[in-house]
Chain A
Amino acid sequence: MKFLKQVGDYAKETVQAARYIGQGLSVTFDHMQRRPITVQYPYEKLIPSERFRGRIHFEFDKCISCEVCVRVCPINLPVVDWEFNKESKKKQLKHYSIDFGVCIFCGNCVEFCPTNCLSMTEDYELSTYDRHELNYDNVALGRLPYKVTQDPMVTPLRELAYLPKGVMEPHDLPPGSVRAGQRPEEILEQMEK
């Protein structure tokens, strides 16, 4: 009797496993008829979202060498090279650099910079052949990235959060289609009323 029960249980488990496999197959089969959501990268790029934390931009002339960025950085990454100018009795900045091979893009330095000389850009294309090339000096940090939407070589595509309700992929969106939910200015308008 015990043996029969074992066989029965085993058979039940087998049937169940077969049913699960069938369910799985139906899911993958259903996926076959969906459109690809591929972004064909060098030709098409996603528009980074509003608060995207990309490569950090640095404005040399605004910097007062206070080194707040170094103190708030989790690993004291920014290198601020300054000298005290005795005539003007001010710190004079000589060099500034951040190594993006080590940076975690937490944005603390941008947040705490008293003169707003640090800011986040949309630049995420940081690949190099040598990681020491990622050590950006103040000249490299001062360069502004090219905007995806202004690059004639690139088709800009909207991210999922910026698509109209129910639309899953950004290809062939009708012009003027608005993202789901309210835009900040609409919310502001409502609040003023």
Chain B
Amino acid sequence: MNPGIDLQGTFIQSLKDLGIPSGAAKAIWMPLPMFLMIIGATVGVLVVVWLERKISAAAQQRIGPEFAGPLGVLQPVADGLKLVFKEDIVPAKTDRLLFTLGPIIVVIPVFLSYLIVPFGQNLVIANISVGVFLWIALSSIAPIGLLMSGYSSNNKYSLLGGLRAAAQSISYEIPLALSVLAIAMMSNSLSTIDIVEQQSGYGIFSWNIWRQPVGFIIFWIAALAECERLPFDLPEAEEELVAGYQTEYSGMKFGLFYIGSYVNLVLSALLVAILYLGGWEFPIPIEMLGSWLGFNEASPMLQVIDASLGITMTLLKAYFLIFIAVLLRWTLPRVRIDQLLNLGWKFLLPVSLVNLLLTAALKLAFPGAFGG
């Protein structure tokens, strides 16, 4: 039994105490985390869209959105509403089924990946032992959706855009997976919970970023390329391609692509925080802090504080990374497609392979420091 709060257990137990049979109690519990996941991801997207616009404005000495709500916080909501009410155009002679299915296939895996994002010891929707692997598997579904929507648009440029998007996603999947593999090797587990646990020993000093600095950079670059963030937003490339594979999309189908890319950005930032920045861990180990201040470790008060601190820390780390991503957007020029593929195949892939081998060697040489 894990220490800490067990929301699911308490919820089911309290329903059972009310006289509801245990099967029904479990069934009532089940939709709650799913809704929480979808709502959390959507709110995360709204916040990121607002932040993106505000930070972009600040970096360019503009004001940014300011009329919709205080400081323009309702602007993303207004944008979303506008997209909902726009006409949903399907071009002539398209493959209707694939055209509709494309954005859905792009979005659903991203939302599903939130299953494995832990915000605390027990604040994870599914603690599966192949967590990171599941995420990598899910994220490789998205290129199929991109290809599908590019192909079914009945438009040469969309087809080319779809092919470019798929090429980009596939070529950055490999360095991403390899750098995750190094982490998995160090923590002897693929479960996100175990990976964070293994970084918890000495506070900030035990975070994976110190042991895997190269892996961290590779992972972040690959994650940016994976969710088509600038400077790797070639599939969309507003000024050059007029939005690549999503040229023919309008209304909510376009909105789905948009939501998907932003959810993916949040997810990538969360995963970087979990894999490299110690997830929900406070820079100073919280148990140590608790024992200094003389708290009982099992006291419910400390548990609640611990849980909320965990959520805050994860979000803080993730949003710091998102901030860096937005800054990068206004710092770096967009790469060309050949530069992109060169960077992916000729630089990131060998470097991440060397990084993996080095990690293995270090793990054999210093089993204490590298999780033997």
Interface residues of A (CB under 8 A from B): 14, 21, 24-25, 27-29, 31-32, 34-38, 40
Contact = CB atoms under 8 A, between A and B. Distances in A.
Interface stretch (B165-173, B179-187, B324-332, B361-369): B324-332
A15 B135 CA distance: 31
Nearest to A35: B61
21 contacts: A21-B331, A21-B332, A24-B331, A24-B332, A25-B324, A25-B327, A25-B328, A25-B331, A28-B59, A28-B327, A29-B327, A31-B58, A31-B59, A31-B60, A31-B61, A32-B55, A36-B58, A36-B62, A38-B61, A38-B62, A40-B63
A27 B331 contact: yes
Contact of A32 (B58, B63, B324, B347): B58
A35 B62 CA distance: 8
Contacts of B61: 31, 34-38
Interface in B326-352: 327-328, 330-332, 347
Q: How large is the interface on B (under 10, 10 to 19, 20 to 34, 35 or more residues)?
A: 10 to 19
Contacts of A35: 61
Please classify the interface of chain B as helix (H, G, I), strand (E, B), loop, or mixed, using the class held by over half of its residues.
Answer: helix
B147 to A, nearest CB: 31
Interface string B254-286: 000000000000000000000000000000000
A28 B330 contact: yes
Nearest to A26: B331
Contacts of A40: 63
Contacts of A27: 331
B327 A38 contact: no
Contact of B331 (A28, A34, A37, A38): A28
Contacts of B63: 36, 38, 40
Interface string B24-68: 000000000000000000000000000000010111111100000
Nearest to B346: A10
Count chain A CB atoms within 10 A of each CB in B55, B62, B328, B331 and give the residue with the most: B331
Contact of B57 (A14, A25, A28, A36): A36
B342 to A, nearest CB: 12
Interface in B284-309: none
Contacts of B55: 32
Nearest to A169: B61
Contacts of B331: 21, 24-25, 27-28
B221 to A, nearest CB: 11
Contacts of A21: 328, 331-332
A38 B324 CA distance: 24
The 4 closest A-B pairs by CB, nearest first: A24-B331, A32-B58, A28-B331, A36-B63
Contacts of B347: 14
Contacts of B327: 25, 28-29
Nearest to A168: B61
Contacts of B324: 25
Contacts of B62: 36, 38
B171 to A, nearest CB: 18
B321 to A, nearest CB: 13
Contacts of A32: 55, 58-59
Contacts of A34: 61
A40 B60 CA distance: 15
Contacts of B59: 28, 31-32
A32 B60 CA distance: 8
A35 B59 CA distance: 10
A50 to B, nearest CB: 26
A87 to B, nearest CB: 63
A28 B231 CA distance: 15
A25 B326 CA distance: 10
A36 B61 CA distance: 4
A25 B347 CA distance: 22
B118 to A, nearest CB: 30
Contacts of A24: 331-332
